[in-house]
Structure 1
Amino acid sequence: MIPQSIQNDNALILERLSLFLNGDPAAIRGEMVAELASACGVELEEGYRLLLASMLGLDMGHNPAHRALYHRYFPHMVHLLDPADFKGDAYLQNIRFPQAARGDWAFTTQNYRPYEAFVCDDFAPLPDGRVIPQIGYFAQGFSYPAVLQAGREWMTVTPNEIATMRAPLAAAAGRVLTYGLGLGYFAYHAAQRPQVASLTVVERDADAIALFEEYLLPQFPCRDKVTLIQADAFDFAASRMAAGRYDLVFCDLWHDPSDGVALYKRMKGFERLSPRSQFFYWIEQTLRYYI
């Protein structure tokens, strides 16, 4: 049982962080970080953490409880990221994105501004009950490919997508099934694994499939392993998943916890139909927190 005090701390951090990220996540600027770090005699990364804490409403100077909260969460939570750790990813190195659109879907390039805060990984639960959101930033701008659906960013390949797919990709072997196509990041890397014999991708939207088949799939070195099926994920899970005898199933159907919790719980109910499969769910720790 998690102590109520820790539950309260988790809720406070997440509520204030959500307001910041949905408000002005680029409010911190480089000169602000340098000035505070110099004044406090700390490293630049610590200066960024202190600024973020202030913008979340923590009174570090006068409130001992806030200082304690800072030390329990922020060193584990906020990270200066190295662009090279992501720009070197084979998908980003080798896949070229056209200026193209189909239906409601359109390829585009989005950007993180210097020092802009963003979610960079799944929640990290600690043994004492703390749940640590993972927030990253770059000291310079960072661009990433995206697909907009009716003007809303829906599919991306950001540091968050890269980090949160490492575990299912490392486990991928044999016959692999993934629900949700996205920009094909999971499919690209899974298909290249010699341990993977075949990869089935279930995607509901015909325009998303058409864009992928025309512009992205031809660039995949191991595209012969990939089979695309246009179907509703839950219909497929109910009627066809068991027959596929999949070794690994990866589900990535949601944008964030606001739409993901219900979909996650629904898909979990189908695991019993494929007991030999190993199931992975995108941002599962985050989703489990909100259940």
Structure 2
Amino acid sequence: MRHNMVKENVKQDNYKVFSLVSNYLNNAPDYVEKEEIEELVQGGISYEYAFSIILAAAFGLDIVDNTADRELFNQYFLQMIHHLDGGTYSSNLYYKNIKLPTIKIGNSELKYEKYKPFEAFVCDDIIQTKEGRQIPQIGFFDREFIYPAVLERNRIWMTVTPNEIETIQEAVDQAFGHVLTYGLGLGYYAYMVSEKERVKTVTIVEKNEDVIQLFKQYILPQFDNAEKITIIKADAFEFAEEKMPMNNYDFVFTDLWHDVSDGLDMYLRMKEFEKNCPGTVFMYWIEQSITCYL
């Protein structure tokens, strides 16, 4: 009985934190201001802790006098907020070597977007603790950070941000041999794995012709190992069912969704095709976050 009660309390805490964070990121991600942060930091606390207590206050939490609020803060916020170093990401191979023009083809537009100083954004997969707490990972920079993006009908659809870099890294590290990837985006994954000696070929399945043309014309020519790349215009699920088992791919990475909200059904659908390729290693973008909802 007590175990069930604890489990239910954790579930309620998860829901509360996700609701607060989601509302914040969707409606006011630049709520925290530099002046407030700097004033607190001068008192001897870190940028992360200063950001956390400002955010907690904005959420209506009383972490001084309310025990429940203080416990929620300690259990979530201290593992949730991250002060990121822009230089670390700017030194990433893709950021260093791939330069993008501002160009529009059809309904797709290639351009640079930016995070303002102290603007918040999702920066990594959800962390799940042993007791079942699901802790979103929120990052911020203390100065402006510019990143490449593709807009579809003026809506950001594909980016290369710290979140993409962190959540794709394991699939980059594990890739080998003949690699298949579903979803082209800005070619970040294809570029990073093409740089690896143990990757022989990279086949990309993408159905958006505008995205393919943007990539072929402006991004692929900058690849040092462009000869490894093959692009197939096709529906990912049709290809997975009809073509994938015939080609003996060593490693398959799927990155078709925008976030968890539209990814769960596609993830489960794509997982069904694994049984047709028993010798292949499969990985999925933000799988850790998606499986929190199963």
Structure-2 residue corresponding to 1:284: 287
Comparing 151-160 with 48-57, greater Cα deviation is found at 48-57
Structure-2 residue corresponding to 1:16: 20
CA contact (8 A) 2:90 2:96 kept: yes
What letter is aligned with 1:150? Answer: R
Structure-2 residue corresponding to 1:30: 34
The count of corresponding residues between Structure 1 and Structure 2 is 290
Give 1:151 shift.
0.6
What letter is aligned with 1:6? Answer: V
Residue 239 to residue 142, structure 1, CA distance change in 2 (3 Å): same
What letter is aligned with 1:233? Answer: A
Out of 58, 64, 82, the residue aligned to residue 55 of structure 1 is 58
Structure-2 residue corresponding to 1:267: 270
Distance 1:247 1:193 in 2: 14
Residue by residue over 1:180-237, the C-alpha shift from the partner in whole angstroms, topping out at 9 and shown as x without a partner, is 0000000001011001011100001111111100110010000101110000000000
Distance 1:220 1:210 in 2: 15
Which residues of structure 2 form unaligned runs of 5+? none
Distance 2:56 2:244 in 1: 46
Out of 47, 72, 76, the residue aligned to residue 73 of structure 1 is 76
What letter is aligned with 2:145? Answer: F
SS, match of residue 221 in structure 1: coil
Structure-2 residue corresponding to 1:146: 149
What letter is aligned with 1:24? Answer: A
CA contact (8 A) 2:47 2:83 kept: no
SS, match of residue 270 in structure 1: helix
Distance 1:133 1:24 in 2: 17
Structure-2 residue corresponding to 1:167: 170
Which residues of structure 1 form unaligned runs of 5+? none
Matched, 1:44 2:30: no
Matched, 1:223 2:226: yes
Comparing 156-165 with 50-59, greater Cα deviation is found at 50-59
Comparing 81-90 with 98-107, greater Cα deviation is found at 98-107
Which consecutive segments of 4 or more residues in structure 1 shift more than 2 A?
34-39, 41-45
Distance 2:227 2:17 in 1: 46
Give 1:37 shift.
4.1
Comparing 50-59 with 159-168, greater Cα deviation is found at 50-59
Aligned identity (percent) is 44
Give 1:42 shift.
2.5
Distance 1:137 1:283 in 2: 19
Give 1:250 shift.
0.5
Out of 187, 191, 194, the residue aligned to residue 197 of structure 2 is 194
SS, match of residue 183 in structure 1: coil
Comparing 50-59 with 89-98, greater Cα deviation is found at 50-59
Structure-1 residue corresponding to 2:243: 240
Distance 1:50 1:266 in 2: 41
Residue by residue over 1:236-255, the C-alpha shift from the partner in whole angstroms, topping out at 9 and shown as x without a partner, is 00001111111111000011
SS, match of residue 269 in structure 1: helix
SS, match of residue 60 in structure 2: coil
What letter is aligned with 1:249? Answer: V
Comparing 269-278 with 156-165, greater Cα deviation is found at 269-278
Distance 1:169 1:142 in 2: 23
SS, match of residue 156 in structure 2: strand
Distance 1:108 1:270 in 2: 35
Out of 93, 98, 102, the residue aligned to residue 99 of structure 1 is 102
Instruction: Using structure 1 for the length normalisation, give the TM-score.
Output: 0.97
SS, match of residue 279 in structure 1: strand
Distance 2:293 2:259 in 1: 11
Give 1:62 shift.
2.6
SS, match of residue 240 in structure 2: helix
Distance 1:43 1:101 in 2: 42
Distance 2:154 2:87 in 1: 29
What letter is aligned with 1:195? Answer: R
RMSD: 1.3
CA contact (8 A) 2:102 2:112 kept: no
What letter is aligned with 1:16? Answer: L
